[in-house]
Amino acid sequence: MKIIITAVPGCGKTTVLNFLKKHAEEDKKNVVFANFGDYMFEEAKKRGLAEHRDGMRPLPKNVQEELQLAAAKKISEITGSVIIDTHASIKTRFGYWSGLPESILKILKPDVIISLEKDPQIILEKRAGDKEREKIGARDKETAEEIDLHQKINRAFVIAYAALVGAAVKIVEAKGEETEPLGHAKQAARKIWDDLKDSI
Amino acid sequence: MKIIITAVPGCGKTTVLNFLKKHAEEDKKNVVFANFGDYMFEEAKKRGLAEHRDGMRPLPKNVQEELQLAAAKKISEITGSVIIDTHASIKTRFGYWSGLPESILKILKPDVIISLEKDPQIILEKRAGDKEREKIGARDKETAEEIDLHQKINRAFVIAYAALVGAAVKIVEAKGEETEPLGHAKQAARKIWDDLKDSI
Amino acid sequence: MKIIITAVPGCGKTTVLNFLKKHAEEDKKNVVFANFGDYMFEEAKKRGLAEHRDGMRPLPKNVQEELQLAAAKKISEITGSVIIDTHASIKTRFGYWSGLPESILKILKPDVIISLEKDPQIILEKRAGDKEREKIGARDKETAEEIDLHQKINRAFVIAYAALVGAAVKIVEAKGEETEPLGHAKQAARKIWDDLKDSI
């Protein structure tokens, strides 16, 4: 089964993925975790286009699209179950750029596209405490309203993607207060794993 | 004209279709009413895969997709106007599964895709009183919030479908209290018929 | 760069386009402004199908689709940057008709699709004061709620379009009171121009 997992930055996707890796280990399930950006970067390095991930940002659009295609082909060669970590859309000054256009989707052929969602206010707080992100600069600072909009846009994107390839859209929302550290991510991973593990 | 009509369970779609059949008879319009699931089941029976409609549920995804394709081809052979009864998405543990992926849509070539919508609370009450559904079990019981989400998801799905084939999306909402038995369904069918009959 | 700009009627799109033309002149940028309907009408005139733009309305759907295709091909031949003025969806009695189905999009190959949006109440007031539109008749009169719905539908449409061709969706909302005549349009054009001019 091919699963794509998407979320806006600060939603805790990496933490959810770490919990999913633990579940896979515990249940002795063979599943490859593929970070789409890592595959793009590998390709960029091979072609001498970038030496670190951020070095891909200034590349022209058509080059980025070539890297996306190469990454998708590489991931499509993985046999068995794959969980692909990527973005439904990327916010740029041009607008919300489709992270999974038809050309890419038809190579990846996902069965399930997960949209991880969270209260924008919690995302905002997470981002505020995120030193790494702060270094990138104030340019990326969004209001709760803007995060909410990005999440709504992403939801429409994943549905359009599912229509293109006949996939299922799984909305996983973190709700309420966290009752333990990383509680939201733990719950989200538990839900995803319980629902999908039999097909992995 | 090819018309697809979709709704979440409990929205009264079957009743609306019955009123539409009456209108077609009264106005002596030739229109075939095709239930997509019936066509899939016919195909499944022919292939010895299922003896009743629920028998299709446990079939693997790729077999279900073959049945969908076969059903779509069969329906596409109908000459003249057709009203196709199906789902925008089906709620499963994998998420909201696209009911009309591109592969199916490009065979059906709909001109109009209708999304029948209703106050989630009314749908909930309808479902509660629906003995048939109760037998299926508590597993299918949803909250009003979940029904609302499913309707929103479906709306985005039908718009994505329309973008794929250049169709029109017709939102038909039942509003307010019913002033007579089956009033909502009667009004919805009246509206659909008045708007579309000249092209049927 | 190919940019498509969309909005519901009365949103001030023409005014925004006029400001964009001024910006292009001031910054000595070569960009062609293409009105999709004008290109369709040119084609209809050439084929003897219509003598004025409204004359295209009663043409059968398949003829309109041919005109759309011809217009798209013509616009795709323009070299350099183009800003295409068209509709995300057109409201008809059949529903919201897709203005940019896949067949058209794959010819136009837009990089950015702009959705111009505004408070429905302001659109309503604009429409009420619009003599031109009043002549067309009461049939087109919508409530604020209906305008709001149309804008929501359009947003889902442009996202589905972006998924099809790997474009970016740019939401440009006019907010608050206008502080000067045409203030909203001026601000929207300024924002669009500042964000996109380096790629034009």
Containing A147, the helix (H) or strand (E) segment is helix A144-165
The answer to whether residues B107 and B4 touch, using CB atoms and an 8 Å cutoff, is no
Mean pLDDT, chain B, rounded, equals 93
The CA distance from B194 to the nearest CA of chain C, in Å, is: 9
Q: Is the pLDDT of residue B156 over 90?
A: yes
Q: Is the pLDDT of residue B175 over 70?
A: yes
**Pairwise pLDDT comparison (B60 vs B108), residue with the higher score:** B108
Q: What is the pLDDT of residues B97-143, one digit of tens each?
A: 999 999 999 999 999 999 999 999 999 988 887 765 555 444 468 99
Structurally, how many domains does chain B consist of? Answer: 1
pLDDT at C178: 84
Full DSSP string of chain B: -EEEEE--TTS-HHHHHHHHHHHHHHTT--EEEEEHHHHHHHHHHHTTS-SSGGGGTTS-HHHHHHHHHHHHHHHHT--SEEEEE--SEEEETTEEEESS-HHHHHHH--SEEEEEEE-HHHHHHHHHT-HHHHHH-GGG---HHHHHHHHHHHHHHHHHHHHHHT-EEEEEEE-S--SSTTHHHHHHHHHHHHHHGGG-
pLDDT at A127: 86
Residue A186 falls inside a structural domain: yes
pLDDT at C61: 85
The CA distance from B58 to the nearest CA of chain C, in Å, is: 31
Cβ of B160 and C161 within 8 Å? no
C129 vs C111: CA distance, rounded Å? 35
pLDDT at A140: 63
The model's confidence at residue A149, banded by pLDDT at 50, 70 and 90, is very high
Cβ of B169 and C96 within 8 Å? yes
A152 vs A146: CA distance, rounded Å? 10
The answer to whether residues C77 and C27 touch, using CB atoms and an 8 Å cutoff, is no
Nearest to C86 by CA among C37, C53, C52: C37
Residue B161 falls inside a structural domain: yes
Q: A46: which residues sit within 8 A by CB, 6+ positions away?
A: none
Q: C61: which residues sit within 8 A by CB, 6+ positions away?
A: B111
Does B160 contact chain A (CB < 8 Å)?
yes
List the subunits that have 3+ CB pairs under 8 angstroms with B: A, C
Q: Is the pLDDT of residue C138 over 70?
A: no
The pair phi, psi for residue A141, each rounded to 5°, is -70, 125
Q: What is the pLDDT of residues C47-59, one digit of tens each?
A: 999 999 989 988 9
| Residue in C with minimal Cα distance to A163 | C160
Does C96 contact chain B (CB < 8 Å)?
yes
Q: Is the pLDDT of residue B47 over 50?
A: yes
Containing A159, the helix (H) or strand (E) segment is helix A144-165
Give me the half-sphere count of Cα atoms (radius 13 Å) on the Cβ side of residue B198. 6
Residue B119 falls inside a structural domain: yes
A181 vs C112: CA distance, rounded Å? 41
pLDDT at A26: 98
Full DSSP string of A121-143: HHHHHHHHT-HHHHHH-GGG---
Within a 10 A sphere around the Cβ of A139, how many other Cβ atoms?
A: 6
pLDDT at A133: 54
B87 vs B7: CA distance, rounded Å? 6
- Over range A4-20, report the average pLDDT: 96
pTM score, two decimals?
0.95
Q: Is the pLDDT of residue C197 over 70?
A: yes
Q: Is the pLDDT of residue C132 over 60?
A: no
Buried b (16+ CB within 10 A) or exposed e, C66-87: bbbebbbebbeeeeebbbbbbb
pLDDT at C179: 86
Least CB–CB distance from A159: residue in B103, B104, B157: B157
Residue A16 falls inside a structural domain: yes
The model's confidence at residue A174, banded by pLDDT at 50, 70 and 90, is confident
A110 vs A4: CA distance, rounded Å? 7
Q: Which two tokens stand for residue C162?
A: 């972006």
| Residue in A with minimal Cα distance to B89 | A168
CATH of the domain at A126: 3.40.50.300
Percent above pLDDT 70 for chain B:
95
Nearest to B38 by CA among B75, B6, B2, B3: B75
Residue B60 falls inside a structural domain: no
Q: Which two tokens stand for residue A75?
A: 């991931």
Cβ of B93 and A195 within 8 Å? yes
CA torsion through residues B68, B72, B74, B75, sign: positive
C16 vs C5: CA distance, rounded Å? 10
The model's confidence at residue A30, banded by pLDDT at 50, 70 and 90, is very high
Cβ-Cβ contacts under 8 Å between B and C: the total is 70
- Over range A17-35, report the average pLDDT: 98
Helices (H), ranges, chain C: 13-26, 36-46, 61-76, 102-108, 120-128, 131-136, 144-165, 183-196
pLDDT at C41: 97
Task: Give C-chain residues touching A97 at CB under 8 angstroms.
Answer: 162, 166-168
Lowest pLDDT segment from A25-29, A114-118, A134-138, B192-196: A134-138
Residue B68 falls inside a structural domain: no
Does C15 contact chain B (CB < 8 Å)?
no
| Residue in A with minimal Cα distance to C154 | A156
Percent above pLDDT 90 for chain C:
82
Residue A67 falls inside a structural domain: no
pLDDT at B181: 87
Q: What is the pLDDT of residues C19-42, one digit of tens each?
A: 999 999 999 999 999 999 999 999
C18 vs C193: CA distance, rounded Å? 12
Task: Give A-chain residues touching B102 at CB under 8 angstroms.
Answer: 163-166
Domain holding C128, by residue range, is 2-199
Q: What is the pLDDT of residues C177-187, one digit of tens each?
A: 888 889 999 99
Nearest to B160 by CA among C160, A118, C199, A65: C160
Q: Is the pLDDT of residue C133 over 80?
A: no
Measured CA distances, A86 to A113, B154, C2, C190, C198 (Å): 10, 24, 26, 32, 28
Phi-psi region of A52 (alpha: psi -120 to 50; beta: other; left: phi over 0): beta
Q: C119: which residues sit within 8 A by CB, 6+ positions away?
A: C174, C175
C126 vs C8: CA distance, rounded Å? 12
Residue B25 falls inside a structural domain: yes
Does A157 contact chain C (CB < 8 Å)?
yes
Chosen for mutation from C111, C114, C159 (greatest number of chain A CBs closer than 10 Å) is C159
Chosen for mutation from B66, B86, B97, B148 (greatest number of chain A CBs closer than 10 Å) is B97
